[in-house]
Amino acid sequence: MFGSLKALPADPILGLLAKYKKDNNPNKIDLGVGVFKNEAGHTAVLDCVKKAEQHRTNTEDSKVYIGPTGSPVFNDEMAKLIFGSEHKVLNENRARTISTPGGTGALRVAAEFIKSCKAGATIWVSNPTWANHTGLFAAAGLNVKTYPYYDYENKSLDFDGMLNALKEVSSDDVVLLHACCHNPSGMDLNNEQWQQVADVAKDVGFTPLIDMAYQGFGSGLDEDAYGLRLMAETVKEMIVCSSCSKNFGLYRERIGACTIIGESSISVDIANSVLLYVVRVIYSMPPAHGAAIVETILSSDELRNEWYVELKAMRDRINGNRQLIVDKLIENGVTRDFSFISRQSGMFSFLGLTPEQVQQLQDEYSIYLVGSSRMSIAGIANSNVDYLAKSIAKVL
């Protein structure tokens, strides 16, 4: 059976990481992997997470299954974090949240749920989008199409192109939107643009699927959820996939959530029964540890406030790095305008370099970023930014 298989290419980012680890250059810089790093280049465990884990160690008395939905406390706390405690869909009992194995698991569950609603459904994703979106949805049997989003030439949002494309989408289609910190462009919709997109969604009737992997990494927990909450107020049905990997630093715990919004509490209960069947036939029950950490933090005033402080520190570091690299490029005589980096948000930005220039950075300076010139902002540090800016200047 296996003899007919042909080897598939490795994930470019994982392949880049392997090359980085083998590189002996003491000045090497990893700008490829999308995880938060501190000034020392380390992805540390948050203090509030350590305390929540200790609490779990002291109080956990069973390893029995927690059921397909996951922990009810986690689901309730996540719903309030996503929508705000007084949101219309919560007050009207029109939302159902389940815990999933990471944000990727939430997306796959959502994809299979969409297929259950309509076999061969079409889902529209932004051009560009997170590299795994297309393969993930296609693997679930969905038809994947793209709408304009990032203007590579002007380093800006192609909002007119996006809006015009969405007006032509079928009412039976699904449209994927990034809630904040767009991966990989760093370009987000402003509040006025979110209003226009929500109005189009209502008029056309397509189903929004909003991926929120970075809540709190852009401007703040509530600010980053503005568009998502507005959309939920505007449309009758919606899907939200969220992740705790970044804002809680729980990358390896694989904890996320999938939320569906229905037109009524009765209709969403029916939809939720289908969602749970999808879960049952994919992984049966979600893992419990990550959810227990998150619910412990969100249920405790002390730990929640500590989390706010640690999350703000991560956000401030990322935003500070954006301005830092722009300033350093200017100091090194770069005349090309890179100010767009400081106007973006989240973990990523396109430098706008050619694939040849990206390869030159890797070969000659041991600076690793993907061929599209997407850069992970968290990989910048005070200790390497001068070398990084000088290297970019030489390549340019």
Are 107 and 114 in contact, with CB atoms under 8 Å apart? Answer: no
**Predicted pLDDT at 17:** 86
Query: What gap in Å lies between CA 345 and CA 389, rounded to an integer?
Result: 20
Annotation marks residue 158 as catalytic: no
Annotation marks residue 194 as catalytic: no
The secondary element (H helix, E strand) that includes residue 243 is strand 238-243
pLDDT single digits (tens) 10-55: 787 888 888 999 999 999 999 998 899 999 999 999 999 999 999 9
**Mean pLDDT over each residue of the chain, to the nearest integer:** 97
Does residue 159 carry a pLDDT above 80? yes
CB contact set of 206 (below 8 Å; sequence gap of 6+):
124, 166, 169, 170, 171, 172, 173, 174, 175
**Predicted pLDDT at 9:** 81
Task: Provide DSSP, 321-368.
Answer: HHHHHHHHHHHTT--S--THHHH--SSEEE----HHHHHHHHHHH-EE
**Predicted pLDDT at 18:** 87
Annotation marks residue 307 as catalytic: no
For residue 167, what are its two tokens?
Answer: 């007006």
Are 260 and 271 in contact, with CB atoms under 8 Å apart? Answer: yes
303-330 mean pLDDT: 98
Does residue 248 carry a pLDDT above 90? yes
Query: What gap in Å lies between CA 293 and CA 115, rounded to an integer?
Result: 32
**Predicted pLDDT at 304:** 98
Give the angle subtended at the CA of 32 by the CAs of 392 and 108, to the nearest 5°: 150
107-122 mean pLDDT: 97
Query: What gap in Å lies between CA 284 and CA 278, rounded to an integer?
Result: 9
- Selecting from 3.40.190.170, 3.40.250.10, 1.10.3720.10, 3.40.640.10, what CATH number does the domain 65-299 have? 3.40.640.10
For residue 18, what are its two tokens?
Answer: 């392997």
Fold of 10-44+316-395: Aspartate Aminotransferase, domain 1 (3.90.1150)
Answering whether pTM is above 0.75, one says: yes
**Predicted pLDDT at 317:** 97
Q: Look at strands 207-212 and 238-243 and give their pairing.
A: parallel
**pLDDT class for 74, splitting at 50, 70, 90?**
very high
**pLDDT class for 330, splitting at 50, 70, 90?**
very high
Are 373 and 351 in contact, with CB atoms under 8 Å apart? Answer: yes
The secondary element (H helix, E strand) that includes residue 193 is helix 191-204
Please pick, among 211, 224, 307, 328, the residue that the annotation labels catalytic.
Answer: 211
Are 23 and 239 in contact, with CB atoms under 8 Å apart? Answer: no
**Predicted pLDDT at 58:** 97
Residue position matching structure tokens 């970075």: 214
318-344 mean pLDDT: 97
Extents of the domains making up the chain:
10-44+316-395, 65-299
The distance from CA 213 to its chain's CA centroid, rounded to whole angstroms, is 3
DSSP 240: E
Does residue 257 carry a pLDDT above 80? yes
142-170 mean pLDDT: 97
pLDDT single digits (tens) 288-299: 999 999 999 999
> What phi and psi values does residue 357 have, to the nearest 5 degrees?
-70, -40
DSSP 261: E
Same fold, 10-44+316-395 and 65-299: no
Please pick, among 124, 246, 307, 328, the residue that the annotation labels catalytic.
Answer: 246
192-219 mean pLDDT: 98
Please pick, among 130, 188, 224, 328, the residue that the annotation labels catalytic.
Answer: 130
pLDDT single digits (tens) 216-245: 999 999 999 999 999 999 999 999 999 999
